[in-house]
């Protein structure tokens, strides 16, 4: 908590060049981009970083193949270039993965037509990934025995990318990068609105944890509040060219359905792409696409039925999946940018996830609408350019503010890890060597963890049963990752809450020890708070779903 407290104290100490409202992917990359190029920036988030839309994605980084059907080739080209750039910039985290798509009889397109489209998709993406291939029903079955091919007429395989850990961790690392460059970033601090005063923005903020209020002064105000951009603009009197409409998406996490390292793709009953996504020892299935009127959403009985019905129709399982197989759910909204004067009435499923940034030059205000993980680096670059146009000096505009550490740093880390035989300490149940995992998650900070392990080999032991998290990782989280509540660690700095059943976590002695590391004297309070809040969510979800077995539900909260 020391890092968070010191950052709160800094908020009213100076005039910032820019204040960012919102710590999702748009706010995180805006802060990282500005701080990395020398702009003095602060960021406040009223929940935890990546605590809303940014933690409810499919964990996929893709070039927008769905937009091929609407012939939005310019958007596909842009997203493919963004995907390729992320793969090159984050080779340990963003990795190519194959998508095997099965086409059923009666679908609106023949599989060979879609296969040809996948070649065009590959070409639009500069041939950066492995080439597509056509699949007969027999070759589908040979590649993935779990797929039911009774109604299949063919399919194709192509490549996109996925996040090796999870979306929230990826987003938090941008926040961590901003902090490394000297930004002030704080979670659980909400904006109460802002006013213009003597050429500056004066934003009233409140510490959600203790109720303390203070004022933050900045030359530019950046509204990156995700689904709540329109709400915050109402607080500051902003009129914009865009607004949001909302699409609810639900994923279910179930035990691992296949050992393959590929995504299985189908067209669901509503015509939307539907995925079976590998998640370590688990599988993520979904998603839904339901228009909703506001960002406050939860999992319903119809959502669960839709996902389970679609997956059971398309896979040959020894036993059909039911609600008792669900380990966790993910439920969030996609904020879709449309023109304020209209645009929300067009075919809802055809609305794209492209972003828009509205600028009010007269009062130095930016509003970021829409967006997705794939396009995040473009958002950061655009924010730098727009802030400079608003008169803020950008001392180091060419500095590369994103990406993994240089190869020589990685080689030094691997050399030190090899000398101390780090990989020999890897747990037999682990999915990968320790050196690979620590570098991917922590980059240059992983060198500090090697020193801890050299001083005390127990720091390389798995602390929480059923996970791969080490004692030294908990110490890292306590010092550098602003973990304020237990959910921050279990769900966003890690994905433990998505893959470990709640009752297993509750009984874990290792989790109790982890709470001691993270929260010190408040460990028992934070432990009880997490499971109390989780039970309230479960009861509400179970009542809504009419399910017999409650599951851990991850829904949006502000």
pLDDT for res 342:
67
| Contact indicator for 103, 267 with CB cutoff of 8 Å | yes
CATH number where 99 lies = 3.30.9.10
Of 159, 157, 155, the C-alpha closest to 102 is 155
For residue 548, being part of any structural domain is answered with no
In a domain, 558, yes or no: no
The answer to whether 510 and 528 are in contact (CB under 8 A) is: no
Does residue 438 lie within any of the structural domains? yes
CB 176 within 8 A of CB 481: yes
- 266 and 353 housed in the same domain: no
> Residue 282 domain-assigned?
yes
User: Reduced to 3 states, what is the DSSP secondary structure of residue 280?
Assistant: coil
Domain check: are 537 and 465 in the same one? Answer: yes
Residue 476 lies in a domain: yes
Cα 48 to Cα 188: distance, rounded to the nearest angstrom? 6
131 and 99 co-located in one domain: yes
Asked if residue 219 belongs to a domain, the reply is yes
Q: Are residues 219 and 266 in the same domain?
A: no
Yes or no: say if 553 and 331 are a contact pair by the CB < 8 Å rule. Answer: yes
What is the predicted pLDDT for the residue at 345?
53
- Tell me, yes or no, whether 230 and 111 share the same domain: no
Cβ neighbours around 109 below 10 Å, total: 13
Considering the domain architecture, whether residues 380 and 417 belong to the same structural domain is answered as no
Question: Do both 292 and 153 map to the same domain?
Answer: yes
- In this structure, what DSSP letter does residue 150 have? T
Q: Are residues 191 and 127 in the same domain?
A: no
Residue with tokens 């995992």: 437
| Beta strand 189-197 pairing with 200-207 | antiparallel
Could you tell me if 235 and 249 lie in one domain?
Answer: no
Residues with Cβ < 8 Å from 406, sequence gap 6 or more? none
DSSP 7-24: HHHHHTSSEEEEEEE--S
> Per-residue pLDDT tens for 501-534?
999 999 999 999 999 999 999 999 999 999 997 7
Q: pLDDT tens across 311-364, in order?
A: 999 999 999 999 999 999 999 999 999 998 865 555 555 567 789 999 999 999
- Whether residues 262 and 330 share a domain: the answer is yes
Q: Is residue 306 part of a domain?
A: yes
Cα 464 from Cα 395, distance rounded (Å): 44
Residue 34 near residue 235 (C-beta atoms within 8 A): no
Q: Which domain holds residue 137?
A: 93-163+245-341
Residue 555 pLDDT: 36
Q: Which pLDDT score is estimated for 68?
A: 92
Residue 418 lies in a domain: yes
Segments in the chain below pLDDT 70: 1, 342-351, 535-558
Model pTM score: 0.94
Which CATH number does the domain housing residue 173 bear?
Answer: 3.50.50.60
Reduced to 3 states (helix: H, G, I; strand: E, B; else coil), residue 147 is: strand
Q: 462 and 516, same structural domain? A: yes
> pLDDT tens digits for 280-297?
889 999 989 899 999 999
Question: Which of these, 455, 390, 401, lies nearest to 29 by C-alpha position?
Answer: 401
Residues 42 and 153 grouped into a single domain: no
Q: Would you state the pLDDT for residue 545?
A: 43
CB atoms within 10 A of CB 162: 21
Whether 518 and 529 have beta carbons less than 8 Å apart is answered as: no
Per the structure, the count of domains in the chain is: 3
The bridge status of strand 60-61 relative to strand 94-104 is: unpaired
């Amino acid at each position: 908590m020391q890092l968070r407290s010191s950052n709160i104290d800094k908020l009213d100490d100076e005039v910032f060049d820019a204040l960012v409202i919102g710590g999702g992917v748009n706010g995180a990359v805006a802060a990282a981009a500005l701080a990395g190029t020398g702009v003095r920036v602060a960021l406040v988030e009223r929940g935890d970083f990546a605590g809303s839309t940014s933690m409810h994605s499919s964990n996929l980084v893709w070039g927008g193949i769905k937009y091929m059907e609407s012939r939005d080739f310019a958007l596909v080209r842009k997203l493919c270039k963004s995907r390729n750039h992320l793969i090159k910039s984050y080779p340990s985290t963003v990795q190519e993965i194959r998508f095997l798509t099965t086409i059923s009889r009666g679908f609106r397109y023949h599989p060979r037509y879609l296969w040809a489209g996948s070649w065009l998709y590959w070409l639009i993406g500069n041939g950066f990934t492995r080439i597509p291939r056509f699949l007969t029903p027999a070759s589908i079955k040979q590649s993935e025995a779990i797929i039911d091919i009774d109604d299949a007429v063919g399919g194709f395989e192509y490549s996109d990318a996925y996040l090796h850990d999870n979306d929230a961790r990826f987003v938090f690392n941008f926040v961590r990068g901003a902090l490394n460059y000297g930004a002030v970033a704080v979670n659980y601090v909400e904006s109460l609105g802002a006013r213009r005063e003597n050429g500056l923005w004066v934003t009233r903020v409140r510490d959600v944890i203790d109720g303390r209020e203070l004022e933050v002064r900045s030359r530019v105000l950046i509204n990156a509040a995700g689904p709540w951009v329109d709400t915050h603009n109402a607080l500051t009197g902003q009129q914009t060219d865009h607004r949001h409409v909302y699409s609810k998406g639900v994923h279910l996490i179930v035990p691992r359905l296949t050992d393959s390292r590929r995504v299985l793709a189908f067209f669901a009953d509503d015509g939307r792409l539907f995925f079976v996504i590998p998640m370590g020892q688990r599988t993520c299935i979904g998603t839904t696409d339901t228009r909703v009127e506001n960002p406050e959403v939860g999992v319903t009985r119809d959502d669960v039925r839709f996902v389970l019905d679609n997956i059971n129709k398309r896979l040959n399982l020894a036993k059909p999946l039911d609600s008792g197989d669900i380990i966790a759910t993910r439920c969030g909204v996609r904020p879709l940018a449309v023109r304020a004067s209209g645009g929300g009435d067009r075919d809802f499923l055809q609305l794209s996830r492209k972003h828009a940034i509205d600028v009010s030059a007269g009062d130095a205000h930016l509003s970021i609408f829409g967006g997705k993980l794939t396009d995040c680096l473009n958002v950061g670059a655009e924010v730098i350019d727009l802030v400079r146009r608003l008169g803020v000096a950008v001392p180091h505009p060419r500095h590369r503010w994103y990406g993994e550490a240089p190869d020589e740093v990685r080689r030094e880390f691997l050399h030190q890890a090899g000398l101390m035989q780090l990989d020999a300490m890897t747990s037999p149940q682990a999915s990968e060597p320790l050196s690979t995992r620590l570098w991917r998650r922590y980059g240059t900070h992983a060198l500090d963890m090697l020193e801890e392990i050299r001083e005390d080999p127990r720091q390389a032991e798995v602390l929480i049963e059923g996970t791969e998290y080490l004692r030294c990782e908990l110490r890292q989280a306590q010092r550098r990752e602003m973990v304020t509540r237990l959910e921050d660690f279990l769900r966003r700095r890690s994905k433990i809450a998505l893959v470990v059943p709640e009752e297993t976590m509750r009984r874990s002695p290792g989790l109790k020890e982890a709470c001691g590391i993270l929260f010190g004297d408040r460990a028992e309070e934070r432990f009880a708070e997490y499971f109390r809040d989780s039970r309230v969510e479960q009861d509400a979800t179970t009542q809504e779903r009419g399910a017999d077995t409650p599951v851990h539900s991850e829904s949006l909260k502000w």
